[in-house]
Structure 1
Amino acid sequence: MPAFQSSASAPPVRVLAIDCGVRPMQLRLPFKFGASTLTRCPQLFVRATVDCGALGTTLGWAAEMMVPRWFDKRVGPSQSDNVLDLQRAVEAASTAYMGGASTTAFGLFARHYVDLMALGASRGATALSAAYGQAVLDRAVLDALCRASQLSASAAFRCNLVGMDDTPLTQDLRGWNWRAWLEGLSPASNLHARHTVGMLDALEGDTEDATGLPTSLPAVVRRYGHRFFKIKLGGDPEVDLARLDAVLATLDAVAPGHRFTLDGNEQYADAHALRALCEGLRALPRLAARPQALLYLEQPLPRDASMDASLIELDAPAPLLLDEADGTLDAFPTGRTHGWLGVSSKACKGLYKAVINRARCDQWNLSGGGLAGRCFMSAEDLTCQAGLAVQQDLALASLLGLRHCERNGHHYVDGFGDAPAAEQAAFAAAHPDLYDTSAGRPRLAIRRGLLAIDSLARPGFAHAADPDFDSLQPLSQASILV
């Protein structure tokens, strides 16, 4: 195949076909986040056939969990309704992407963003649900383009293979020198895995389940050597502070010198409740002894209450980070004016949204802009599973220069789950630095708290093995797999 030359303009792409399938994933441990507990969930797989002009036609892949009660936390819709919204977003984006003239990979996203978001809203979907289809399809298109050009995803972005440029979608970045900025990105060669401490996770004992995987926090640290942690909150300051004190007591004993983040998962009703949490955090002796250990407070408020003007005056012990409230491309600039200094990168929220928000952080930090505090980006997980999903999410975090990322999928699912043995073996063989096969089946390898990701820097978007598409169920079955 011809290699792409960095001096050339971005090649045109045209999506010829999109095939989708789902695989049921059963969790080995229940995962409680906010008011919801997850025990099973469908994982989506997308295979796109993409004409990349002179570079040829090839296949691109992507995968993502279809997690209920995260994209949409409203009381009315059921878990099946939540997944059905995600299915419809994928179907709508597929129809849109297979129509129209050739354009760049980024141009494909920009061309359809407004209409697809509007369509989702007209159907009653949340912004996160409406954006899901493009978030997954854009990764499959990028994968095909990288394979055709024989470039890794990080190399493709650094030479702007995707064609990022000024767009009416991002007026605040008008005049931004995309080519120079992308060339300056410095992908990480490894990443610290930030372990998620769920609200149901055992804090004592050195316990494992029948698979030999850890079930308690001390056992997790012993096995993986984590130095970074993410601690879930439930929305009641008194209960959360007591739980946090217990978690920190364990971490101080088994991982001295650790750093951690807090995730409110939209559970604090308003700024008044959040203020009570912040007051309690400042008075917590274990945190007062090491205030620098707390890195940021992630999405404590409901997304619809996140732009409260009083937040700018909140005396929080750590900066606030947008996650669920980052539903649209303009959410982070708006949030910044209301006191939010950080924003999460999640592949399920959108590849190009993450890159755009990372550029915003650099632009704002360079210019100052009259607002206090440095803006920053984090890498968060939505139970990304072994194989395509976790690899593409890790590659995105690496591209953005992030040094640690939340990982929880490997803790709640054993390896590749029920994926065919041949598929598991193919991924393990293609990425021996990322998977450990000593237990007889591939599992994510975390050593001394680190993920080795050198094998992701090959042609394509972070994978040198493909899923077994014939083993998947039709996308239409997704909503009954929850």
Structure 2
Amino acid sequence: MTAPAFRITEIALYERPVRLRLPFRFGVVTLTEAPQAFLRLRIDIQDGRSAWGMAAELMVPKWFDKNPALSNEQNFDQLRLSLRLARDAYLSDATPRSAFGHSATHHAALVRAGAKRGLNALVAVYGPALLDRAVIDALCRMQGMGFVPALQRNLFGITATLTPDLAGFALDGFLRDLQPVRHIAARHTVGMLDPLTEADLGPARRLNDGLPESLEAVIAAYGQAWFKLKVGGDIAADLARLTAIAVVLDRISGGYQSSLDGNEQYDDAAGIAALWQAMQNEPALRRLCASIRYIEQPIKRASALERPVHGLSAQVPLIVDESDADYDVFPRARELGYRGISSKTCKGVYRAVLNAARCIQWGGGYFVTGEDLTCQAGLALQQDLVLVAALGLSHVERNGHHYVDGFGDAPEAEQAAFLAAHPDLYRRQDGRVRLAIRDGAIALDSLLDVAAYGSGAEPDWGDLAPMPLHS
């Protein structure tokens, strides 16, 4: 199918505050609130048709840029700037292009423009990644087609323009052969402040909001058997924390699987290797160690791609996450011994798809993982789920539903609209619309079957605040 060429003619940016029900500590930050960005745009095709598309993403502080000198507000302003730079670039170009063509045309220039404004590449690609998702949504709606069949037909016009190492690869064949999953296991994040047992919750800490608060309550409520365990860079403290986690997980009768997230807490491979060796030497962690499928970005991004990690990665695969700031990262990481890379819609749909293609080109042993950045119920959650479903992943980290109660402060009518459009994905409980996880898995049928990029409902645009034009 020929990829349609079109212009992008309108882009509007909005945001809404999000308050967490539980504090979420990852790396150097404890998150309690953050704004969520919303975007709506229009595309016009040459035959006179037009369509609107939309996307949303939380603006998480101290992940895109972990400079401790920056406040959370300064981090939010960085991401707003990235969105405005992308909006201005996409609107300034009236040339009709394919969906991927728009993205590829502006990618390098936006990274350079961001650098001139003090934005690292991970921040700089946040804006275009969000715009690209809205473009994809608009095109799917215009063509009356879901994301997966559009991807299989390469309706977006994806090429190896930004990935010359894939120049000889049969990309269209790879896309055509994608086999989406209809259910996906939810990998529960165990944050560094999260209570592990009900006994850890004194009366003063208990929320009593109808949602599980401790790890053991999560397992009882959702039946989950996949977990993502955060560590903090202090071997003694990490061992104590992991041992306490293992006490809870080892009670799961059917066994469990997990990943370990280093969140850039180590200066080099020796640091994370020391933790891994200490874990192997601890009898109480025998089952937990056996459950770990990979370690995610343990080394600070400033040095993560400087030295080989073959030795440790041969024992337990290492993947890159925060280091994944551009299209050339995965091949560079592979040369150093990394075995995988994360998929996150905040880093770009096309990058995730092309990295998955690389795994096929390289043969066995390389993989893409599905990771969360507190994706919120609604557009952000659904578009990320559709992407990992399209890539055929069997599990994905999900944490937004645990740290935020349902749709947060979204109007009741908005919550009801999403529930009506996606009754397999959400449920109503205690007057709130919340994500439905049954037997540890999330049902995806309604997301895959809708003629859009994953959503048959939309936010209440009148309830959203226009994003500030200047910071």
Which of the five TM-score ranges fits, normalised by the shorter chain? over 0.9
1:147 equivalent to 2:141? Answer yes
Q: Report the counterpart of residue 3 of structure 1 in structure 2.
A: none
Q: Report the counterpart of residue 437 of structure 1 in structure 2.
A: 428
- Provide Cα deviations, 1:170-202, integer angstroms capped at 9, x if missing partner: 111112212111000001101100000011111
Distance in 1 (CA, whole Å) between partners of 2:469 and 2:221 is 36
1:16 equivalent to 2:16? Answer no
After TM superposition, the structure 1 stretch with the greater mean CA deviation from structure 2, 118-127 or 148-157, is 118-127
Distance in 2 (CA, whole Å) between partners of 1:127 and 1:45 is 21
* Structure 1 residue 53, shift from structure 2 partner: 3.5
1:410 equivalent to 2:401? Answer yes
| Equivalent residue for 2:156, pick from 148, 152, 162 | 162
Q: Report the counterpart of residue 305 of structure 1 in structure 2.
A: 303
- Residue segments in structure 2 that go unaligned for 5+ positions in a row: none
Q: Amino acid of the residue matched to residue 470 of structure 1? A: G
Distance in 1 (CA, whole Å) between partners of 2:150 and 2:222 is 32
Over aligned residues, Cα RMSD in angstroms? Answer: 1.6
Whether the 8 Å CA contact 1:312–1:337 is kept in 2: the answer is no
Distance 1:383 1:456, change over 3 A: same
| Equivalent residue for 1:127, pick from 77, 98, 121 | 121
- Provide Cα deviations, 1:282-332, integer angstroms capped at 9, x if missing partner: 223244346541110001111111013242233664100110010111111
Distance in 1 (CA, whole Å) between partners of 2:459 and 2:168 is 40
Whether the 8 Å CA contact 2:374–2:400 is kept in 1: the answer is yes
Q: Report the counterpart of residue 112 of structure 1 in structure 2.
A: 106
Distance 1:399 1:52, change over 3 A: farther
Distance in 2 (CA, whole Å) between partners of 1:111 and 1:301 is 32
Whether the 8 Å CA contact 2:279–2:289 is kept in 1: the answer is no
Q: Report the counterpart of residue 341 of structure 2 in structure 1.
A: 343
Q: Amino acid of the residue matched to residue 454 of structure 1? A: D
Q: Amino acid of the residue matched to residue 16 of structure 1? A: T
| Equivalent residue for 1:465, pick from 457, 464, 470 | 457
| Equivalent residue for 2:166, pick from 161, 169, 173 | 173
Q: Report the counterpart of residue 316 of structure 2 in structure 1.
A: 318
Distance in 2 (CA, whole Å) between partners of 1:130 and 1:452 is 33
**TM-score, with structure 1 as normaliser:** 0.93
For the residue of structure 1 that corresponds to 2:163, the secondary structure is helix
For the residue of structure 1 that corresponds to 2:196, the secondary structure is coil
1:392 equivalent to 2:390? Answer no
* Structure 1 residue 281, shift from structure 2 partner: 2.3
Whether the 8 Å CA contact 2:250–2:288 is kept in 1: the answer is no
- Residue segments in structure 1 that go unaligned for 5+ positions in a row: 1-7, 367-373
1:446 equivalent to 2:440? Answer no
Pairwise mapping of residues 325-404 of structure 1 onto structure 2 (< 5 A)?
325-365=323-363, 374-404=365-395
Q: Amino acid of the residue matched to residue 68 of structure 1? A: P
After TM superposition, the structure 1 stretch with the greater mean CA deviation from structure 2, 426-435 or 302-311, is 302-311
Pairwise mapping of residues 17-36 of structure 1 onto structure 2 (< 5 A)?
17-36=10-29
1:225 equivalent to 2:216? Answer no
After TM superposition, the structure 1 stretch with the greater mean CA deviation from structure 2, 470-479 or 243-252, is 470-479
Identity of aligned residues (%): 48
Q: Amino acid of the residue matched to residue 456 of structure 2? A: A
1:53 equivalent to 2:46? Answer yes
- Count of residue pairs brought into register by the alignment: 464
Distance 1:17 1:436, change over 3 A: same
After TM superposition, the structure 1 stretch with the greater mean CA deviation from structure 2, 322-331 or 245-254, is 245-254
Q: Amino acid of the residue matched to residue 138 of structure 1? A: D
For the residue of structure 2 that corresponds to 1:348, the secondary structure is coil
Q: Report the counterpart of residue 371 of structure 1 in structure 2.
A: none
After TM superposition, the structure 1 stretch with the greater mean CA deviation from structure 2, 181-190 or 263-272, is 263-272
**TM-score, with structure 2 as normaliser:** 0.96
* Structure 1 residue 255, shift from structure 2 partner: 5.5
For the residue of structure 1 that corresponds to 2:339, the secondary structure is strand
Distance in 1 (CA, whole Å) between partners of 2:234 and 2:151 is 43
* Structure 1 residue 460, shift from structure 2 partner: 0.5
Distance in 2 (CA, whole Å) between partners of 1:55 and 1:187 is 33
For the residue of structure 2 that corresponds to 1:38, the secondary structure is strand
| Equivalent residue for 1:424, pick from 394, 415, 438 | 415
